[in-house]
Amino acid sequence: MSPTSTADFLRKGAIAAYISSLIFPAYQIRFGMGPFGIEALLLGWVTLFSAMTAWLANPIVIFCFFNMKATPRLCTVIGALALLAAHDFHNIKTLGFDSNRDKYANEVLGINAGCYLWLASLAISFVASAIYAWPSVRSSLKRVCT
């Protein structure tokens, strides 16, 4: 299997994992399941106002899904940044406050399959970008070293 076909396979796997993450719950809260991945994607930008950076990984990875072949070096670098930004999801302690219920009703107790699939898609996308970028990096290193 050539590196390009491996990277193509991984890119498609990352896209499949990302789409799958949208249909599973992302968080476990005290009274049942938290929001599904699609809800987290559509409403997650609001967390930027409270200095949460995890949502920023979404536009980055979507950009890389479509431009990975054309700009593999860029996607490798920003894919690594997306992975770093994504790990801010651990700082989410609550998903809002409902004054009609217990104040701990929306307390985040853990993460679910949607979050794991989302993180997997980011990691796989980074690896695929690195595989696409490797031939150009290798030729650059040869020029520098000789």
Q: What is the pLDDT of residues 62-115, one digit of tens each?
A: 999 999 999 999 999 999 999 998 888 777 776 665 556 566 667 778 888 999
User: Which of these, 63, 82, 62, lies nearest to 71 by C-alpha position?
Assistant: 63
What pTM value is reported for the model?
Answer: 0.82
Domain count, the chain: 1
User: Which of these, 92, 88, 77, lies nearest to 126 by C-alpha position?
Assistant: 77
Q: What is the pLDDT of residues 117-144, one digit of tens each?
A: 999 999 999 999 999 998 766 666 566 7
Range of the domain at 99: 3-145
Residue corresponding to tokens 């302690």: 93
The conformational region for residue 26 under phi > 0 = left, psi -120 to 50 = alpha, else beta, is: alpha
* pLDDT band for position 22 (cuts 50, 70, 90): very high
Phi/psi at 98 (5° precision): -110, 110
